[in-house]
Amino acid sequence: MSALDPILESTRAEVARRQASVPISRLARREDEIRPFVAALTAPGMSVIAEHKRRSPSAGVIRDGVAIEDVVRSYERGGAAALSILTEGPSFGGSLDDLRTARAASGLPILRKDFVVDRYQLHESLAAGADAILLIVAALHRRQLSDLYAEAGSLGLVAVVEVHDRHELETALSIDAELIGINNRDLVTLGVDVERTFELLPMIPTGKVVVAESGLRRREQLDRLAAAGVDAVLVGESLMRSADLEQACRALTI
């Protein structure tokens, strides 16, 4: 059984509840411009997507009780190129309010990190201030993935298409995903192997934007990834556990 299964089940139920309460036609209209997420990741050097994450199924409580405004401002001062805000509630302790708060507190582009299973989530992401969303290949049938990817693009949202193995990468490439996230975490065992990124990289065509995720906490890891052609890393747990968020982020970005 995949660790995704219970999360996806609760997500579908929660999305249905939200949609019944506030249909797409009644979602707030976005007034500000979408920030350039891809440009932030493709700037010279290794770009860091710094994540706000309170807890996770694999790590338990990571950090709670710190204001999200303080977290994202520390990341911005520390040189992060973009932010990732976990909005899933039951397993990760997040919410769309976290995204809205981060949007108001920082000028960086923001990835809504959640388990997208329905087009409704694309529209609420846009309304809440996201510039990018996550599409997990393991969580979606190919047709779902293709449809959600196309609709995200039509809304102006960037989609980070996340893969874990060769088969999933082939699926991501079959829909011509521009931005591919390689998650080093095994969704069945929840173990992390940072070599996963290096194993999949040679299969990715030139011109794609690549983000490495999970198990990254040291500058030498980022240097090795950069030398291999990775554009950005997503770092959450190691930053959130740091006593000094700004300094921890700066240590990865200098």
Q: What is the pLDDT of residues 24-79, one digit of tens each?
A: 999 998 889 999 999 999 999 999 999 999 988 888 888 888 899 999 999 999 99
Q: How far is the CA of 89 from the CAs of 50, 129, 167, 186, in angstroms?
A: 19, 18, 29, 21
Measure Cα distances from 73 to 70, 83, 136, 177 in Å. Answer: 5, 10, 28, 30
Nearest to 135 by CA among 171, 103, 102: 171
- For the chain, the domains span 4-21+32-253
User: Closest Cα partner for 84 from 253, 236, 238, 246?
Assistant: 236
Q: Residue 92: its pLDDT value, please?
A: 92
Q: Is the pLDDT of residue 1 over 70?
A: no
- CA-to-CA distance for 139 and 144, rounded, in angstroms? 9
Alpha-carbon distance 185 to 182, whole Å?
Answer: 9
Q: For the stretch 199-236, what's the b/e string if a residue is b when 16 or more beta carbons lie within 10 angstroms of its beta carbon?
A: ebbeebeeebbbbbbbbbbeeebbeebbeeebbbbbbb
Say what the pLDDT of residue 115 is. 97
Q: Is the pLDDT of residue 134 over 90?
A: yes
d(CA 247, CA 79): 10
Predicted pLDDT at 82: 98
Measure Cα distances from 96 to 115, 163, 165, 209, 241 in Å: 13, 24, 30, 26, 22
Angle value at C-alpha 65, between 61 and 66, nearest 5 degrees: 110
User: What CATH number does domain 4-21+32-253 carry, 3.40.50.720, 3.20.20.70, 3.40.50.2300, 1.10.645.10?
Assistant: 3.20.20.70
Catalytic residues: 51, 53, 113, 162, 183, 213-214
